Structure 1
C-alpha cells in the first residue's frame, strides 16, 4: 500500500445500490469486502459515510425546515449507516468500532481522537459517525477533519464516477476528466468535488484528496496502492 493510513469517504447514496432509498445489504457487503482487502495488505482504515440515502440536511432546509434541525437529523442518519457498515464488516471478520461526534453510548463510542488512533493501530476499522457534531458542516468537511485528526496519509473520496470532470459526465458525454488538480483550481473553477469548506481545509493542511469510482471491484485496493484510478488533488 502506498498509503499507510487512509480516510475513506463514502456517500450515503452509494449504500442504496440499485435501490431508490435506504440501505442495500448487497452494497454493504461489497464495500466491506473491498475494505477488508486493503486492511489485509497493511492499511489502517477510517471511514466516514454520508446520509443522503436516508436524510439530507440541505434538502430538509430547502423544504422549509430550520437548517440546524435538518442537519442534526442528517447527522443522526449517518449513525444508522455507520452501524449497518459495522455489522457488514464484523460479519466478514473485520474488527470495527463506530465513534460518534454526538454522544450515544448505548450504540457507539463517543469520538475521542487518541482512542480512534489506538483502534486503528490495533487493526480495527474506525467509522466516524455524526459528522463534526455541528450543523452547517457536510460529511465531506467532517471527513477532511477526521483525516487530519488521525494523521491520515490521504482522504479517498469514493464516488460513482471515475474522477473529477470539468462538467457532469452523466449529463455531458464531452466532459473531460482530470488526472490531477490543485486545491486552488478546484475552488476557482467551482468543481463539484466537495464543498468549499472541505477543500479549503484540505488545502490549508496539505491533505491529498483522491476521487475515484468505488463501484468497480478492486478500485479501492488500486487507489490505496497509488495506482491511477481517479483524480488526485494536491497543492
Structure 2
C-alpha cells in the first residue's frame, strides 16, 4: 500500500446525499463500505467529519446567534455526524473509537494524542468529533492538526468533485483538473482547497493533501494503492 496511516476528511454536506438536510442512510452506508475496503488492506484510518448538513457556525450571526456560541453548536453537529458514521462502520464489522475536542464522556473519549495513536496501532478507526474544541477553527483545520498529531502520511479530502480545478467545474465548463499542484501554486492561483489555517498547517509540516471524489465507488481504495486519483497537493 502507498499509505499506511491516513486521515480522511469528509464534509457534513456530503452526508445529505440526495436530501436537503440531515443524513442520508444510503450515503452513510456507501461511505462505510468504502472505508472497510481500505481497513481490510491494513490501512490505519482516522476520520474528521464536518457538520454543515446540520449547522454551520459561520451561519450563526445571520440568525442573531453569537459567533462563538454558533461555533460550539457546529461542534455538536459534527458529533452527531461522527456518531452516525461510527454506528455505520460498526454495523459493517469495523472497530471504532470516537474522540472529541470537547468533553462529553457519556458518548465519546476526550482527545488524547497518545491514546489516539494506540487505537490506530490496534486497528481501530478513530473518528475525531467536535473540532479542536475551540471556536473560530473549521473542521478543515481540525483535519490538518489531527493528521499532524497522529503522524498521518496524507490528508485525503473526500468531496463531490474529482480534484482541484482551474475554476469551479460546476460553473465553468472549460475548467480543467490538476493532477498535481504545489502548495505555492494553490496560493498564487487563489484556488479554494481548504481554509488558510488548515492549508498552511499542511504546508509547514510537509503533509500532502489529496482532493478526490469520495462518492465514486472504489476511488478511496484505488488511491491507497497508489493509483492517480484526484489532485495531489504537495
What CA distance in whole angstroms lies between the structure 1 residues aligned with 2:64 and 2:175?
34
Q: Which residue in the other structure is 2:95 paired with?
A: 95
4+ residue runs over 4 A deviation: none
Q: Deviations over 1:111-132 (max 9, x none)?
A: 1000000100101000000111
Q: Which residue in the other structure is 2:119 paired with?
A: 119
**What is the correspondence of 1:28-177 to structure 2 with a 5 Å cutoff?**
28-177=28-177
Offset, 1:188: 2.2
Return the TM-score normalized by structure 1.
Answer: 0.98
What CA distance in whole angstroms lies between the structure 2 residues aligned with 1:89 and 1:225?
21
Q: Deviations over 1:62-90 (max 9, x none)?
A: 44422111111101100000000000000
Specify whether residues 42 and 58 from structure 1 end up closer, same or farther in structure 2 by C-alpha distance, changes over 3 A only: same
What CA distance in whole angstroms lies between the structure 1 residues aligned with 2:220 and 2:78?
21
Question: Structure 1: 5+ residue runs without aligned partners?
Answer: none
What CA distance in whole angstroms lies between the structure 1 residues aligned with 2:29 and 2:231?
26
Stretch deviating more after TM superposition (125-134 or 176-185) = 176-185
Asked if the contact 1:57/1:73 (under 8 Å) is kept, the reply is yes
Q: Aligned with 1:52: secondary structure?
A: coil
Q: Deviations over 1:159-203 (max 9, x none)?
A: 000000111101111111111111111122221111011110100
What CA distance in whole angstroms lies between the structure 1 residues aligned with 2:175 and 2:225?
27
Asked if the contact 1:187/1:196 (under 8 Å) is kept, the reply is no
Q: Which residue in the other structure is 2:5 paired with?
A: 5
Offset, 1:225: 1.6
Stretch deviating more after TM superposition (183-192 or 204-213) = 183-192
Offset, 1:61: 2.8
Q: Aligned with 1:177: secondary structure?
A: coil
Q: Which residue in the other structure is 2:21 paired with?
A: 21
Stretch deviating more after TM superposition (67-76 or 45-54) = 67-76
Q: Which residue in the other structure is 1:192 paired with?
A: 192
Return the TM-score normalized by structure 2.
Answer: 0.98
What CA distance in whole angstroms lies between the structure 2 residues aligned with 1:64 and 1:228?
45
